[in-house]
Structure 1
């Protein structure tokens, strides 16, 4: 294998290591934001590693037709180490800000939808029941006037 091909493969696998670091940090933010129970966390961990293995395998196929050499391991470790040393902290901050922004946007959209769809229906239902409530209150007041409650029983002292 030519030296230029090995250098290109090294750079591609190092970039794959950086991509795996980005994927892992994104997964960490997801897990920290949603705090799933241990079973879901275990399944998500397994899915992450399956995706990471697939990405690494695809990069190996594209880079050097799947030849697994020692410099491939060094390149992957180098890519991950460079990412964690230089960019991980900034990427985590940016990802958390994006998550908070999406959460705020979701709450705002939910409030707008409630205001547009739920509140008018609620007002129409209340307005349609108003005559019945008004009539019921008037009937209740009239009934109490016409039929007063019985007097309390008199207590006779013992003789």
Structure 2
């Protein structure tokens, strides 16, 4: 079956884009994986990550290029992963860490502000009961 040139170009572009998406998923997984867990959980996490990643890439390729899978699709997918990891990974991880740190900081501040009236209430009750 001969595929038109515009379709081949589209297949290459979306294969490369799915490689970049896989690289982003891998960086998110690396950030989550930074937490120390038991060895057998790491194996389960790895298997689940690659299954999820394969499903996402397959669905992405299914909707964008009708699941045409050939050697050059895999080649451009791997090339997209390599380009992402080489060019954008350090920047993306830095942004992820700042976003997660900022999110935790906001949650901590909100939690302290919400609990502050209760601390005052219970602190006064303890102080009154000691007298």
> TM-score, normalization: structure 1?
0.73
Distance 2:92 2:128 in 1: 54
The runs of 5 or more residues in structure 1 that have no matched partner are 135-159
Bigger CA drift: 107-116 or 51-60?
A: 107-116
For residue 124 of structure 1, report the CA deviation from its aligned partner: 4.7
> Residue 62 of structure 1 aligns with which residue?
63
CA contact (8 A) 1:17 1:79 kept: yes
Q: Which has the higher contact order (CA 8 A, sep 6+)?
A: 2
Distance 1:83 1:65 in 2: 24
> Residue 123 of structure 1 aligns with which residue?
123
Distance 2:47 2:73 in 1: 23
For residue 73 of structure 1, report the CA deviation from its aligned partner: 0.7
Which of these two proteins has the greater Rg computed from alpha carbons? 1
> Residue 25 of structure 1 aligns with which residue?
27
> TM-score, normalization: structure 2?
0.87
> Residue 81 of structure 1 aligns with which residue?
82
CA contact (8 A) 1:17 1:75 kept: yes
> Residue 41 of structure 1 aligns with which residue?
42
Distance 1:107 1:59 in 2: 37
Distance 1:91 1:103 in 2: 18
> Residue 54 of structure 2 aligns with which residue?
53
Bigger CA drift: 86-95 or 97-106?
A: 97-106
> Residue 3 of structure 1 aligns with which residue?
5
The runs of 5 or more residues in structure 2 that have no matched partner are none
Q: How many equivalent pairs are there?
A: 129
